[in-house]
């Protein structure tokens, strides 16, 4: 354990740099922190939604989300990555925190541009990053207050020190947030009053995301049941979130508040808070998220549990259709490939499906650089790449985007529409895409012998993507690996390898 922070470090706005709080013996990181105590609390899900809206209402963050985020098209994947990142940032091991902070900084360095009004945004802006941390802290305090279990002053002080330490891990210091908690509340009110706007990103989260939320893997094959549940839960979550937002922002943004929603909101928070009385270990946020997103065929031990749940969900969905037909298409039956597949378990998908499910990662109806950057980001995150390998992968995807833009952007607007893609029916397996596959092969071939052995193959697809691939005998050569990757990216076939990564929500 290191010594207490110096007066100089406190003068620079840095929180305590050791693993304990300021002189009270409470850990800032690890299992004894206030963050860890609340992480598995069901109320945290509601608080995260609220914090995300407050983040999105900031003009810089809202613009960055609209241009770069995959939260509309792939919300479950985004949720999983966010929880995993926060768990790492509050890990007791400083090496884990430093590695994750470096990854987040590299990710944010690649996000800059301008919004619809021509205002520049930069994801590395310190004041903006401080606001993200502020919304997480304030929403955690608010969720406890709304559920009738307000935090004591000492607990809030310790939690605030943790979140300032979180910011310091990202920015080198926490000077962008007030040092004292009583000053934080004035800072928070000032930003809400003077800086938040009714941004497009905030509107999408409140009024579009819940209404169009794609089914998680657990509800795959039961769209009727999911549609019914979403029709009820979507408006409820939206109303609760609006009611929980600061009143000055609701007024300025013109957000509707239906009669009784505040009582409903508090009731939901109270009910969710009852989860804290369950036996220890019954609720684990990370396990729940993994279970929701676990793809079919996973080697995860929980796959059997998910398969059993899916079977019951499908039966319930079929019964629901019999009892009260809702119209629309019935629950789908897996398509069959009219032609022999190059690999078992693959079926051909239409150009429209391929564009929507794979290429359009941000869900805005167009293909441009942020979509391919999202692919590179997801690969880098799942494989936990170091900076040199990550940069090589991003560079390869950037070259592929330039190649696609030159071939498919017929109207010269700087992006590729679904119509432009479908009309061209392109072969995407050009030199740049081959280079992407080669870089992916290189980062998988850890020993550099030019082949992928069983252990390296397992590390790529089993460990990183939770795929149980037992068909690899001997080694996997570069040409075979590249061929399989190109088959997925250009032949528009589903793939048991890459669909959970790039196509699933």
Query: Running DSSP on this structure, what letter comes out for residue 274?
Result: G
Q: Domains (ranges, CATH) in the chain?
A: 13-324 (no CATH), 351-503 (1.10.238.10)
pLDDT at 18 (0 to 100): 45
Highest mean pLDDT among 371-385, 424-438, 466-480: 371-385
- In DSSP terms, which residues pair with 298 in a beta bridge? 467
Residues in the chain: 505
- 20-50 pLDDT per residue, tens: 454 444 568 888 888 888 887 888 888 889 9
pLDDT at 234 (0 to 100): 83
Check pLDDT > 70 for residue 334: no
Residue in 48, 118, 111 with CA at minimum distance from that of residue 81:
48
- The pLDDT confidence band at residue 409, using thresholds 50, 70 and 90, is confident
Longest CA pairwise span in the chain (Å): 72
Handedness of CA 404, 408, 413, 416 (dihedral sign): negative
- 231-258 pLDDT per residue, tens: 888 888 888 899 999 999 999 999 887 7
| pLDDT, greater one: 227 or 301 | 227
Q: Which of 357-366, 388-397, 431-440, 451-460 has the lowest mean pLDDT?
A: 451-460
Give the chain's mean pLDDT: 78
- What's 443-473 look like in SS3? HHCCCCCCEECHHHHHHHHHHCCCECCCCCC
Say how far apart CA 372 and CA 333 lie, in whole Å. 30
* For range 294-307, the mean pLDDT: 58
Residue in this structure with the two tokens 């009219």, named with its chain if needed: 338
Check pLDDT > 80 for residue 323: no
pLDDT at 23 (0 to 100): 44
- 430-441 pLDDT per residue, tens: 788 889 989 988
* Residues whose CB falls within 8 Å of the CB of residue 69, separated by 6 or more in sequence, listed in order: 78, 201, 362
Q: What is the β-pairing status of strands 416-417 and 366-367?
A: antiparallel
- 14-25 pLDDT per residue, tens: 444 444 454 444
* For range 145-155, the mean pLDDT: 91
| pLDDT, greater one: 104 or 3 | 104
Query: Running DSSP on this structure, what letter comes out for residue 200?
Result: H
pLDDT at 37 (0 to 100): 81
Say how far apart CA 4 and CA 115 lie, in whole Å. 43
* For range 278-291, the mean pLDDT: 67
Q: Give the rounded percent of residues in the chain with a pLDDT score beyond 70.
A: 72
- The pLDDT confidence band at residue 330, using thresholds 50, 70 and 90, is very low
pTM of the model: 0.77
List the beta strands (DSSP E) in 274-327.
Answer: none
Cβ atoms 491, 485 nearer than 8 A: no
| pLDDT, greater one: 227 or 414 | 414
Joined tokens for residue 339: 């032609």
């Amino acid at each position: 354990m290191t010594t207490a922070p110096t007066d100089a470090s406190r003068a620079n706005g840095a929180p305590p740099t050791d693993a304990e709080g300021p002189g009270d013996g409470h850990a800032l990181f690890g299992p004894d922190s206030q963050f860890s105590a609340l992480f598995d609390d069901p109320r945290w899900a509601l608080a995260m939604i609220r914090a995300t809206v407050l983040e999105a209402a900031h003009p810089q963050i809202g613009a960055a989300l609209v241009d770069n985020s995959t939260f509309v098209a792939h919300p479950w994947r985004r949720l999983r990555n966010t929880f995993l990142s926060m768990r790492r940032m509050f890990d007791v091991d400083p090496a884990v925190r430093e590695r994750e902070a470096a990854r987040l900084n590299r990710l944010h360095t690649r996000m800059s541009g301008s919004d619809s009004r021509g205002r520049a945004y930069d994801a590395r802006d310190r004041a903006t990053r401080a606001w993200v941390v502020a919304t997480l802290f304030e929403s955690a305090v608010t969720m406890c207050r709304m559920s009738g279990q307000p935090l004591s002053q000492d607990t809030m002080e310790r939690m605030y020190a943790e979140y300032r330490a979180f910011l310091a891990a990202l920015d080198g210091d926490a000077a962008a947030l007030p040092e004292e908690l009583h000053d934080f509340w004035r800072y928070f009110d000032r930003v809400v009053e003077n800086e938040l706007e009714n941004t497009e990103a905030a509107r999408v989260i409140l009024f579009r995301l819940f209404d169009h939320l794609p089914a998680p893997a657990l509800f795959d094959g039961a769209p009727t049941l999911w549609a019914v549940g979403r029709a009820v839960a979507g408006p409820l979550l939206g109303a609760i979130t609006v009611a929980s937002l600061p009143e000055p922002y609701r007024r300025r943004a013109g957000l509707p508040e239906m009669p009784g929603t505040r009582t409903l909101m508090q009731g939901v928070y109270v009910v969710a808070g009852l989860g804290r009385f369950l036996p220890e270990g019954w609720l684990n946020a990370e396990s729940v998220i993994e279970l929701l997103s676990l793809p079919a065929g996973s080697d995860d031990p929980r796959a059997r549990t998910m398969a059993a749940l899916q079977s019951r969900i499908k039966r319930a969905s079929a019964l629901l259709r019999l009892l009260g037909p809702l119209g629309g298409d019935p629950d789908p039956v897996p398509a069959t490939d009219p032609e022999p597949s190059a690999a078992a378990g693959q079926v051909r998908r239409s150009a429209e499906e391929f564009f929507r499910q794979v290429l359009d990662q941000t869900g805005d109806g167009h293909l441009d650089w942020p979509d391919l950057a999202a692919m590179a980001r997801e690969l880098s995150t799942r494989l936990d790449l170091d900076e040199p390998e990550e940069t090589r992968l991003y560079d390869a995807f950037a070259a592929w985007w330039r190649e696609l833009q030159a071939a498919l952007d017929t109207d010269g607007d700087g992006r590729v529409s679904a119509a432009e893609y479908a009309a061209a029916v392109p072969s995407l397996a050009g030199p740049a895409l081959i280079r992407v596959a080669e870089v992916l092969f290189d980062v998988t071939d850890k020993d550099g012998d030019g082949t992928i052995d069983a252990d390296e193959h397992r590390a790529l697809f089993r460990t990183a993507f939770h795929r149980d691939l037992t068909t690899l005998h001997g080694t996997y050569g570069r040409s075979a690996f590249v061929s399989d990757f190109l088959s997925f990216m250009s032949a528009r076939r589903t793939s048991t390898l890459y669909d959970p990564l790039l196509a699933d929500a």
